[in-house]
Amino acid sequence: MFTPQLATRLRRIKPSPSTSAADRANELRRQGKSIVNLVVGEPDFDTPLHIREAAAAAMNKGQTRYTLMAGTVDLRQAIVAKLQRENGLSYGMDEVIATSGAKSAIYSALAITIEAGDEVIIPAPYWVSYPDMVLACDGTPVTVACPESNDFKLTPAQLEGVITERTRWLLLNSPSNPTGASYTEAEYRALAEVLDRHPQVMVMTDDIYEHIRFDGERTPHLLHAAPQLRERTLAINGVSKTYAMTGWRIGWIAAPREFINALDTLLSQSTGNCCSVSQAAAVAALNGDQGFVAESVAVYKQRRDMMVQAINAIPGLSARTPEAAFYVYVNCAGLIGRTTPQGSRLVNDTDVVMYLLESEGVALVAGTAYGLSPYFRLSIATSIDILEEGARRIARAVAALD
C-alpha cells in the first residue's frame, strides 16, 4: 500500500482541540446520546438580513468573478473607514488586505515573517491555533502563563523576561478567547514601554472579539495607546464574530505597505482573493446598520451573567466574570483528585471534561488546550435554555463525585 511522504512540519502540529471536541460530541449525538454542546465559538444568530440581501444583490449584479487580490475597492474603503471611525487609526487603502477569515490572516502573516527558530511570544491562555500556526511556519512558540490572579493578562515584567534576540513577534488577543480578558490603554502603554526597548519585536493584534464587550465601553487598541508601534504592528480583524458571519470567511490585516505587498504576493500564489460575494456582504456589515451588534451583545451578557452565577454555585468550580467575548473560562481545581462513580480519579482538566461528557453529555474544551490548567472553556454562544440545561448537568455530575 502506498504511504504518502508528508512534510516534517506537519508532524509538529495537531488538530484543533476545539474541533476535536466538537467532533466527539457530534459522534456521541449520532450514537443517540443527548449532548449539550458548549464547545463551538460561533454566534448562534443568523447573519443580519441587510447583509444577506447585499450578498444576493451582488450575485444578481454578476459580482461573482475574481476581485483584486487585496480585496475590492469597496471593501478596503469600508475597512479603512471602520479603523478610523471605531479605533482612531489612519490607514491608506494600500495598507489593508482582505483575507479568507482572520485565521488565514494570522497564518499568512506568520508565513511571510518567520524563519526557522524565530520565537513568537504567546500569552496563555491563548486561542488553540496560535502555537500550531507558529510551529507550521518553522517557528518556536514561547508561551507565557498569565494567571487568573492577574486577570489572565501579560505583565510588562513577564514580557521583558521572555524576549530574546530570536524573538520575532508578540501575539496579543484582546478581548481574549478563551477568557474574555481585555487590556486597558494603560496596560497597553506599559507593554509598549518594554517593546520600545526591543525594536526587533513585531506585534500582531487579534481584535476579532472587539465588539462583543459587556461594559458598554469601546475596546482600546494597542496602536491608539502606543502609536509609535505602528510600523511594526499588524492589526487583524474580521466580520465573523461581530456580525454572525463565520461561514462567510472575511478577515483583514492593516499594516505598513511593505507587509501588505508581501502578503499580496503570498496570497496570490496560495488562497487567491476572498469570495467576491462575501466581500460585498462584508461591505454591508461594516457600512450598514449596527443595531444587530448591540442587540446580540445584550443577549450574550444575559447568558454570561446566568452562566457565571450557575457555575459559581457549584462546589469545586469557579469562574471570573468575563469582560468580553462569548466564553466562560471555568476553574476546576476543586475537582482535581476527586473520584467518579465508576472509580476513576480525576487527575487533570482533561479528565474533568471527559467525565462531564461521558457522564452527563456536556461537551466542553479542557484548559490544557489553551495553555493554562486546570480550567475548561464553555461557550455561551447558544440559547439560554441550552445553557441552563448544561449547568444543571454539570452540577449533577459534580454532585456525584466522591
Where do the domains of the chain lie? 8-46+292-399, 65-287
Kindly state the average pLDDT of the residues 331-340: 98
pLDDT of amino acid 14: 77
pLDDT of amino acid 304: 98
CATH architecture of structural domain 65-287: 3-Layer(aba) Sandwich (3.40)
pLDDT of amino acid 61: 97
pLDDT tens track for 285-310: 999 999 999 999 999 999 999 999 99
pTM: 0.94
CATH homologous superfamily of domain 8-46+292-399? Aspartate Aminotransferase, domain 1 (3.90.1150.10)
Nearest of 149, 137, 97 to residue 272 by alpha carbon:
97
pLDDT tens track for 74-131: 999 999 999 999 999 999 999 999 999 999 999 999 999 999 999 999 999 999 999 9
pLDDT of amino acid 367: 97
How many percent of the chain have pLDDT more than 90?
91
pLDDT tens track for 206-265: 999 999 999 999 999 999 999 999 999 999 999 999 999 999 999 999 999 999 999 999
Q: From CA 345, how far away is CA 29, in angstroms rounded? A: 26
Using pLDDT thresholds of 50, 70 and 90, give the confidence band for residue 9: confident
Q: How far is Cα of residue 326 from the mean position of the Cα atoms in its chain?
A: 10
HSE-CB at 246 with a 13 A cutoff on CA atoms is 10
pLDDT of amino acid 136: 94
Average pLDDT, rounded, for the chain: 95
Question: Is pLDDT of 365 > 80?
Answer: yes
> Using DSSP, how many helices (H) and how many strands (E) does the chain show?
13, 12
Residues 265 and 73 sit within 8 Å (Cβ to Cβ):
no
pLDDT tens track for 27-73: 877 888 899 999 988 999 999 999 999 999 999 999 999 999 999 99
Kindly state the average pLDDT of the residues 270-298: 97
The backbone torsions φ and ψ at residue 158, rounded to the nearest 5 degrees and listed phi first, read -65, -45
